Amino acid sequence: MKDQDTLINTLINSEELLNGFTHEEIGDDHLSTGLETPMKPNAFAMSDEEKKESIAKLFAQIMDVMGLDLNDDSLRGTPKRVAKMYIEEIFSGLNPENKPKVALFDNKYQYNQMLVEKDITFYSNCEHHFVPIIGKAHVAYISSGKVIGLSKLNRIVQYYAKRPQVQERLTNQIAIELQTILDTQDIAVIIDAKHLCVSSRGVKDNTSATVTSYYGGVFKSSQKITELQNYINS
């Protein structure tokens, strides 16, 4: 525990350069180390119950440092509520055990055009400030012989959204997961989201939104992109 505390203090206070810039100079800019969510090798050494107990204690310390009275009836249960919310809800996508179980079915209808599931509402959290990202995902695929239940498309979006994220990584994770499951490159994912790290703090721009996209296989053609956008906008 002492070694861990030393490492955390070093990281918090570090002025180490990242791509030639300090943490302060980078500010709110999006940084992403790769497709995979950055995780420690021993990320699951603790059980969920142990994690909740530890988070509750640590969050109580945060509240105490801010001067909040933890003896107040309204605040007394907050550390445990936050811990439960983190592990069981908004960051549950970090645990691979929560990954949706997906069953595929033969494409008996011989439907060979694009299938679009649009306006999938999701809530994620920015990994830079741990504040919400609220948006909609549009997912499309063309069957290579197998199809997936429509609700599973939603569940895959939710699974990858329920972790600290950057929108670019979230878009790619959903697309590559679907390519793997459906055994096809013909996948498209478009995400349109509002970041509260932009609207509620920092620049405080409440009108802007961020759009990211992934086009694979036949969806790289301008014709298919236009067709997809017509479906989404209809």
pLDDT for 33 equals 63
Last residue in a domain, options 72, 98, 124: 98
Residue 186 and residue 111 in one domain: yes
Amino acid at the residue 6: T
Q: Tokens 């640590």 sit at which residue?
A: 58
pLDDT value, residue 6? 57
pLDDT computed for residue 39 by the predictor: 95
165 among known catalytic residues: no
pLDDT at 158 over 80: yes
User: Among the options 158, 165, 167, 173, which is catalytic?
Assistant: 167
CB atoms closer than 10 angstroms to residue 22: 12
Mean pLDDT value of segment 150-179: 98
Reply yes or no on whether the pLDDT at 25 is more than 70: no
The pLDDT confidence band at residue 31, using thresholds 50, 70 and 90, is low
Judge whether 128 counts as a catalytic residue: yes
Q: Tell me what pLDDT residue 29 has.
A: 56
Q: Is 167 a catalytic residue?
A: yes
Question: Is residue 183 within 8 Å of 121, Cβ to Cβ?
Answer: no
pTM for the predicted model, two decimal places: 0.87
Q: For 113-129, what is the mean pLDDT? A: 97
Cβ pair 160, 96 in contact under 8 A: no
Measured between alpha carbons, how far is 90 from 94 in angstroms, rounded to an integer?
9
Q: Which of 54, 71, 98 is the last residue of a domain?
A: 98
Tell me what percent of the residues of the chain surpass a pLDDT of 70.
86
Q: Which of 126, 138, 158, 165 is catalytic?
A: 126
Same domain, 64 and 91: yes
CATH code, domain with 194 = 3.30.1130.10
Question: Is pLDDT of 9 > 70?
Answer: no
Which is catalytic among the residues 88, 195, 227, 229? 195
Asked if 126 is an active-site residue, the reply is: yes
**pLDDT at residue number 198:** 82
pLDDT of residue 129: 93
Mean pLDDT of 212-225: 98
Sign (positive or negative) of CA dihedral 53, 92, 163, 197: negative
Task: Give Cβ neighbours of residue 197 (< 8 Å, ≥ 6 apart).
Answer: 28, 126, 128, 129, 131
Residue 124 sits in which domain range? 104-233
Give the range among 4-8, 141-145, 189-193, 201-205 with minimum mean pLDDT: 4-8
Evaluate whether 132 touches 196 at the Cβ level (below 8 Å). yes
Instruction: Find the CATH number of the domain harbouring 16.
Output: 1.10.286.10
Active site residue 127: yes
Q: Which amino acid, residue 70?
A: L
Token duo for residue 143: 């069957």
pLDDT at 192 exceeding the cut of 60: yes
Task: Quote the tokens at residue 7.
Answer: 């490492």
- In a shared domain, residues 93 and 156: no
Q: What's the mean pLDDT in 56-60?
A: 98
**Do residue 136 and residue 225 come from a single domain?**
yes
Q: Which helix (H) or strand (E) holds 210?
A: strand 210-215
Bigger pLDDT: 31 vs 65? 65
Q: Domain boundary at 77, 98, 119, which? A: 98
Which candidate in 129, 168, 185, 227 is catalytic? 129
143 pLDDT tier (thresholds 50, 70, 90): very high
Q: Please say whether the beta carbons of 32 and 171 come within 8 A.
A: no
Residue 21 has pLDDT above 60, yes or no: no
Q: Which helix (H) or strand (E) holds 171?
A: helix 167-182
Structural domain count of the chain: 2
Is the separation of the CB atoms in 136 and 191 below 8 Å? Answer: yes
Residues 202 and 178 in one domain: yes
- pLDDT at residue number 204: 75
**Rounded CA gap, 139 and 189, in Å?**
5
Domain identity same for 25 and 94: yes
Spot the catalytic one: 138, 158, 173, 197.
Answer: 197
In the prediction, which pLDDT does 153 show?
98
Residue 37 CB coordination number (10 Å): 19
